[in-house]
Structure 1
């Protein structure tokens, strides 16, 4: 029967190697624990890293879509408000046109109505040239005179 001698140096080397491995594992676990993430590097879990990257990209697209929707909603609200103002002005124009058809009005009254109609026209043109927050023509009437 032969016996193998394990030298003390080999035993120490093996122990040092195991301690080094355990220290490395402990360091990795502490990093994950402090970061609050299971996967810190793609090499930790390639499949999970790929899925995390895909979800991160999807989240960025969703956030971009949300910002776009918010801008669109703001533009629509501004357009609705502008159109409401235009409708109110047109109601006043209609009132003045009906009033101007009255044969009992003097020339001074008709001149006053004409001046107010010109003012209303200018206000309508201003509304038609309204821009949104990004400087784009809100109603497509940029430059209308």
Structure 2
């Protein structure tokens, strides 16, 4: 199962860039910064957004810098969900799943995003977080 990368899609849309423009800017920055093996095209950017594929280094850092400069706010590879994540499997009964789906729909969020937000909010309330 693939999950679209909504944070990345939103950042690129807010920047006003197309997939072509995003790829061109990454390639230019990579060339300028001495990364000779980077050759991104628009279809690759589309797969990062639609399928949640993760680009290989140094691309996540390059894209985060470009978006930070364009948007005037800090964008990190983690915030853009360009780094590998950790999966947690939670088994719900049918009623629990339906309730969760109903609340996520009311919040206009995909259920995965809503669950992620719930977990992050609970984790933030913990007295100390191991690093």
Query: Structure 2 length normalisation: TM-score?
Result: 0.23
Q: Answer 1 or 2: higher relative contact order, Cα 8 Å, separation at least 6.
A: 2
More helix by share: 1
Query: Structure 1 length normalisation: TM-score?
Result: 0.21
